[in-house]
Structure 1
Amino acid sequence: MATDTRTAEELKAAVIAGDTTITASQIEKARQTEEFAELQAQAAKAQAHRDRVADFEADVAAFKADYADLAGADLSELRDLYEDAVVIIAELHAKVKDRVAEQQQIVARADSLGIRGRDLGVSTGRLIDDTQGEWSRIAVRPEDVDGIGDEAKRGFVPNAGARATIHALHSDERVEDMREINRSSYVQGTGRELLEALIARRNA
């Protein structure tokens, strides 16, 4: 015999409609079954809520532990490196300033003597006007130092064309690095790769 799956309300409606085969116990059983099913659904929701609360509390506890580790971490090494960088860059700025003053003096002397770039085998025009020959390789500019942060992060300072800038503060080896970057189809990756090679050389 098939189980009657009608709800209590459906059974009541059937009785009212004239079905004399339905008993009071059937209606009561259907009502109890419905109430128990509702209780089970509520219990499942309550358990799911408790699970979410427990998971959240575990996540919060883990976060607090990680935060405490982060907050309590020793920053002395980073701070020492930062101060070292500040001192080195300050020294670099000072020496660049001295170098630029020397360059200005030599250019002024060249102008007063009427010496042109070609007289020194540099190029034509005023000594300082040459941007392709020897002068561009030896003339230091204050702005060359300004890009040091970019070069330390990406391996090069991008010019207006997003290619690597070459200046007098680059060693011959770094000049070749910059040229390799500019020949590369993946400028960012090559720049970083060559920066890592520089760091390895300097730390060797």
Structure 2
Amino acid sequence: MSGSQAARAASRFRPRRVNLVLAAWMTLVWAALWQDLSAFTLICGALLAVALQLVFPMPPVRLDGRVRPGALLGFVGYFIVQVLLSSLQVSRHVLRFGAQPRNAVLEVDLRSESDFILTAVAVVTSLIPGSVVIEARRSSHTLYIHALGVCDAAGVERERARTLDTEARLIRAFGIPVADRGRAP
């Protein structure tokens, strides 16, 4: 038996753990879906949450840094401003008769190698009106983004800069070190 086969066999028989915070959250979501806070609904939700975690274990999420409250608050403010400004831009495109907005698909190479940051940037980018992540490549930490209202190369660079700014703010908020991947900042 080779080393990789032994590691896989050992991981199959490793005792599985239940995350109590996740189980509590899943139980609350279960009760909210049923719109009932009876003891029966809560017990069934808790049993279902534990069973789901045992049958479908989540991979561990590595968070190499620590949360910085000031930077996190700054990021939340930045996000709210971006949502408001983008909503106005999308509204302008929708209400303008006759003219079709130009769109672009752009590739953004992230500086961080953290899967957590990749996921957070993808989610935040998709939550901002007028942009949506159409592909995320974990192997190269690259996002492909469809952006509304991009007319030229300067617009593409603005969207790329906005995405990289979002990444930088998330890195500051969560204190995750950036590995030098040979890319210009």
State if a TM-score over 0.5 links the two structures.
no
TM-score by length of 2: 0.29
TM-score by length of 1: 0.26
Instruction: Tell me which protein shows more helix as a share of its residues.
Output: 1
Instruction: Tell me which protein shows more strand as a share of its residues.
Output: 2
